[in-house]
Structure 1
Amino acid sequence: MKGWFRLTLGLLAVVVGLVWTLQGLGYLRGSLMSGDDIWAIIGPVLVAIGLLLLVIGLRARSKAKRQQ
């Protein structure tokens, strides 16, 4: 079960970051965040953090498999 938490958290961060980016750029409407430039900046940062967590989680899982 090693790495599952990081994988889950990373995937969640990527999805939320993409939504925030699209809202900030004005592609997703219906929110107070729509069209606000700050979310177009925060979103990609969150996506990058999520991708980093995914890589760390995948490495932890592959390392755990090699030790078995």
Structure 2
Amino acid sequence: MRGWFRLTLGLLAVVLGALWTVLGLGFVEGSALSDQRIWAMAGPVLVLFGLAGLWWGMRARRR
């Protein structure tokens, strides 16, 4: 069961970060986040944290 929590949080962060990026860039209309530059910048940062979480979770699973 080791590492599953980290993997889950990492995957959630990657998906949420990608969604924020798409919304912030204005590709999806009808949201309060649409065309907001802050979300276009925060999204990739969250994706990077999510990728780090995935890497950390995979390392924990290998041990």
- TM-score (ref. length: structure 1): 0.91
Name the structure 2 match of 1:45.
45
The amino acid across from 1:27 in the alignment is F
Matches within 5 A, 1:9-48: 9-48=9-48
Gaps of 5+ in 1: 64-68
What SS does structure 1 have at the residue aligned with 2:14?
Answer: helix
Count of residue pairs the alignment pairs up? 63
Query: Share of identical aligned residues, percent?
Result: 60
Greater Rg by CA: 1
RMSD, aligned CA = 0.4
The ranges of structure 1 where at least 4 consecutive aligned residues each deviate by more than 4 angstroms after the TM superposition are none
Which residue number corresponds to residue 54 of structure 2?
54
Q: CA deviation at 1:29?
A: 1.3
